[in-house]
Amino acid sequence: MADSRSAALFRRACRSLVGGVNSPVRAFKAVGGFPVFMESGKGAYLKDADGRRYIDYCLSWGPLILGHAREEIIAAAQRALKKGSTFGAATEMEVALAEALKAALPSLELLRLTSSGTEAVMSAIRLARAHTGRDWVIKFAGCYHGHVDSLLVQAGSGATTLGTPDSAGVPRAWAATTLNLPYNDLQACRRAFSKYGGKIAAVIVEPVAGNMGVVAPAPGFLQGLRELTRAHKALLIFDEVITGFRLCYGGAQSLFNIRPDLTCLGKIVGGGLPLAAYGGSRKIMERVAPLGPVYQAGTLSGNPVAVAAGLACLKLLKEENPYPRMEQLIMHLVQGLREEAEKAGSAVQLHSVGSMFTLFFCPSSISDYSSAQRCDRAAYGRFFNAMLRQGVYLPPAQLEAAFLSSAHDSADLTLTLRAARRAFEPA
């Protein structure tokens, strides 16, 4: 494929774009080879620059829960665009979207729209610090919350030590305000609060981890975080950029019946366009400007085209309720992949929650980032490329979530499992 149009485009991109891409994982370094350049998408399928079609299980990293180019969403965005692409002023549509989000997630009494999940998280962290008068934040290893400086940290030398920078350009003093603990380890969190409770402003967590592959919360883990933060007067922040409207109409907080203090949303709420939000109780959110002293602003926040797409997406999800069918399909897919792996003698773990799933090339169980690190990434890379050659597009990295959309059907799954049978065969 070295003479393909994708290869030529990548060589051209490398002359102008950093690494030839606008987001690192798109460079395919984790799976080998060069990135596939996509030209269009429809339903469950992508088409690349060379005209090849793929069943898509990446779905733009989660936003496209209704599949590519859903007609109602495209039409809503087009109607909005004809009236103007951006105004930098208030519109009725953004009020309607805020009302729809509030109705779906009762924890959102007031909210603010932003353009990206990173912005939403950054703003929620700033707000939590202002509200509590404390500086430190607990996050969990393997949970990614956007490229917020103070959250780009790796674990220190012990379970409750302060973080050190995981990216060049992040001052150590900023990373040192973050405690990086093992996901699903409530005892480590208890120890951290016992030692540093008066300094901790918030705990931020992906309620279902999606950035170390799909890892579900252990029984009692989320509830324990809620109790701990409440007892120590810290805030609980749910990063539902991935899980919001992905697991059910609402978010993981609806599924697990836990009310966080602040919630960050993104991906699905924009219907495939750049849009995100953060919100929480009125008491906390009234600290945000112009009502309070916590400053946050954005020229394209509440962009009318993105808002229109988001509203159309939420309306369709509410009317069609595709969640039970998607969950049935993904259970069939996961079971089929497990059977094909067993036939080939491949040691894998398959995790799924709702319409999210991950195929881990690992012989032992996975519950946190440390156990996920034991995966055979080279084996995943070989499997990924074998599937790609057969027209199945998976996330180009082992420790990333894959997704199903309402546009996928049983025929797509049959083709996927047929491709997996060949991909699992020894080289």
Task: Locate the domains of the chain by residue range.
Answer: 5-65+322-423, 71-319
Q: Supply angle C-alpha 222, 273, 354, rounded to 5.
A: 35
In the predicted model, is pLDDT for residue 322 greater than 50?
yes
Compute the average pLDDT of residues 182-195. Answer: 97
Residue 57 annotated among the catalytic residues of the structure: no
CA-closest candidate to residue 4, choices 12, 393, 392, 46: 12
In the predicted model, is pLDDT for residue 157 greater than 60?
no
Residue 278 annotated among the catalytic residues of the structure: no
In the predicted model, is pLDDT for residue 160 greater than 70?
no
Strands 110-114 and 276-280: antiparallel
In the predicted model, is pLDDT for residue 163 greater than 80?
no
Contact predicate 373/186, CB 8 Å: no
Name every residue whose Cβ is closer than 8 Å to that of residue 286 and which is 6 or more positions away in sequence.
110, 292
Does domain 5-65+322-423 fall into CATH 3.90.1150.10? yes
Beta-bridge partners for 359: 350
- Three-class SS state of 276: strand
Confidence of residue 164 (pLDDT cuts 50, 70, 90): low
pLDDT at residue number 374: 95
- The share of the chain scoring above pLDDT 70, in percent, equals 95
Catalytic pick among 48, 239, 261, 412: 239
Mean pLDDT, all residues of the chain: 94
CA-closest candidate to residue 114, choices 314, 333, 307: 307
- The share of the chain scoring above pLDDT 90, in percent, equals 89
Residue with tokens 């930098």, as numbered in its chain? 88
Strands 392-393 and 356-360: unpaired
What are the φ and ψ backbone dihedral angles of 357, each rounded to 5 degrees? -155, 160
pLDDT at residue number 147: 82
Each residue of 201-244: pLDDT tens digit?
A: 999 999 999 999 999 999 999 999 999 999 999 999 999 999 99
In the predicted model, is pLDDT for residue 158 greater than 90?
no
CA-closest candidate to residue 196, choices 216, 174, 176: 176
Confidence of residue 169 (pLDDT cuts 50, 70, 90): confident
pLDDT at residue number 155: 41
pLDDT at residue number 117: 96
Each residue of 15-34: pLDDT tens digit?
A: 999 999 999 899 999 999 88
CA-closest candidate to residue 273, choices 140, 105, 78: 78
Contact predicate 253/217, CB 8 Å: no
Q: pLDDT: is 22 or 1 the higher one?
A: 22
Helix spans in 47-200 (H): 71-83, 92-104, 117-132, 172-175, 186-196
Each residue of 280-297: pLDDT tens digit?
A: 999 999 999 999 999 999
Catalytic pick among 144, 183, 278, 369: 144
Name every residue whose Cβ is closer than 8 Å to that of residue 8 and which is 6 or more positions away in sequence.
none
**Total Cβ atoms within 10 A of residue 339:** 13
pTM for the full model?
Answer: 0.95
Contact predicate 357/350, CB 8 Å: yes
In the predicted model, is pLDDT for residue 148 greater than 90?
no
Least confident of 79-83, 157-161, 254-258, 361-365: 157-161
Kindly report whether the peptide bond that precedes residue 35 is cis, defined as omega within 30 degrees of 0: no
Give Cα 93 distance to the centre of its chain: 25
Residue 318 annotated among the catalytic residues of the structure: no
Catalytic pick among 45, 183, 185, 267: 267
Least confident of 101-110, 145-154, 370-379: 145-154
Each residue of 86-111: pLDDT tens digit?
A: 999 999 999 999 999 999 999 999 99
380: left (phi over 0), alpha (psi -120 to 50) or beta: alpha
375: left (phi over 0), alpha (psi -120 to 50) or beta: beta
Half-sphere exposure (CA, 13 Å, Cβ side) for 280?
A: 27
pLDDT at residue number 427: 62
CATH class of the domain whose range is 71-319: alpha beta
CA-closest candidate to residue 277, choices 170, 118, 426, 408: 118
Residue 101 to residue 240: CA distance in whole angstroms: 13
Please report the sign of the dihedral spanned by the C-alpha atoms of residue 228, residue 232, residue 233, residue 237: negative
Residue 79 to residue 411: CA distance in whole angstroms: 34
Neighbour-count burial for 292-324, b at 16+ CB within 10 Å, e otherwise: eebebeeebbbbbbbbbbbbbbbebbeeeebbe
The counts of H helices and E strands in the chain are 14, 16
CA-closest candidate to residue 112, choices 87, 206, 101: 101
In the predicted model, is pLDDT for residue 2 greater than 90?
no
Please report the sign of the dihedral spanned by the C-alpha atoms of residue 76, residue 393, residue 331, residue 246: negative
pLDDT at residue number 166: 67
In the predicted model, is pLDDT for residue 154 greater than 70?
no
pLDDT at residue number 1: 60
Confidence of residue 161 (pLDDT cuts 50, 70, 90): very low
In the predicted model, is pLDDT for residue 372 greater than 60?
yes
- Three-class SS state of 101: helix
